[in-house]
Amino acid sequence: MAIGVKVVSRPGSLGQQTYLPAIAEGLGVTFRHFAKNFIGNLVGLRAKTDIVTIQYPEEKKKYPERHRGLHRLMLRDDGQTRCVACMMCPTACPAHCITIVPEEAPDGRIEKRPKIFEIDELRCVVCGLCAEACPCDAIRMDTLEHAMPTYRRVDAILDREELLSRGTRSEAKQGGVGAFWREKVKGEPQTPPAANVVPAGSPPGPTEKSKQES
């Protein structure tokens, strides 16, 4: 033969050559996992097992605070929309999914308000620049909801009333809170961090994130 064949003897003892101890060890590992998960799940101690399954929709993963979801329009103390139709959010929007037609506000202190406020959720890329650009805390994306699929395109366009229906009163100061808006008031108790999984039967509502006044 032109090519030499090198016969290499397999090292190790008889157990290593037959693989029987390794097979027994592997079966032991899988059986240990099975026994722990099975018994724990059977007696209702899911938290003590290693099972990573989250049973949606009975159990949901808790979204982080910075999650960007469906839009909502916030309200002023008197129930009116905080939006003053300053056109900053459609200007900042890279997908051009926000349409605002302003009208004159009856309140003498406020110059404008939106007559038409529409967000096309089919075009929205959920970047959050509209909420970032808004100087009045009028638009937020903290609903922790997703844009649901619809059978008709027109149903995916949210109008002003629908956006306001998700809104709540905002305590933000008109025109922003200045350079120290992130500073917390001293002495205010800090809320403990929430668990990762919300228990079944309590659907999460919109998180109330009121910005603190300076």
Q: Token pair of 168, please?
A: 């709540």
* Nearest CA-CA partner of 68 in 133, 122, 124, 117: 124
- Of 12, 16, 21, 34, the one binding other proteins (CB under 8 A) is 34
| Strands annotated E in the chain | 60-61, 72-73, 98-104, 112-120, 139-140, 157-158, 197-198
Q: Which is nearer to other proteins, 12 or 178 (CB)?
A: 12
- 43 lines the binding site for other proteins (CB under 8 A): no
- 179 lines the binding site for other proteins (CB under 8 A): no
Contact criterion met (CB below 8 Å) for 85 and 118: no
Q: Which is nearer to other proteins, 30 or 190 (CB)?
A: 30
- 55 lines the binding site for other proteins (CB under 8 A): yes
- 110 lines the binding site for other proteins (CB under 8 A): no
- Of 9, 13, 30, 196, the one binding other proteins (CB under 8 A) is 30
* Nearest CA-CA partner of 85 in 68, 109, 120, 110: 110
Per CB under 8 A, the segment of 35-43, 97-105, 115-123, 153-161 that binds other proteins is 35-43
* Nearest CA-CA partner of 106 in 81, 134, 88: 81
- Of 12, 15, 21, 38, the one binding other proteins (CB under 8 A) is 38
* Nearest CA-CA partner of 110 in 130, 80, 74, 87: 80
- Of 1, 7, 29, 195, the one binding other proteins (CB under 8 A) is 29
- Of 12, 33, 61, 207, the one binding other proteins (CB under 8 A) is 33
What Rg, from alpha-carbon coordinates, does the chain have? 29
- 23 lines the binding site for other proteins (CB under 8 A): yes
The least distance separating other proteins from the CB of residue 15, rounded to whole angstroms, comes to 14
Contact criterion met (CB below 8 Å) for 160 and 187: no
What residue ranges bind other proteins (CB under 8 A)? 23, 26-27, 29-31, 33-34, 37-38, 41, 49-53, 55
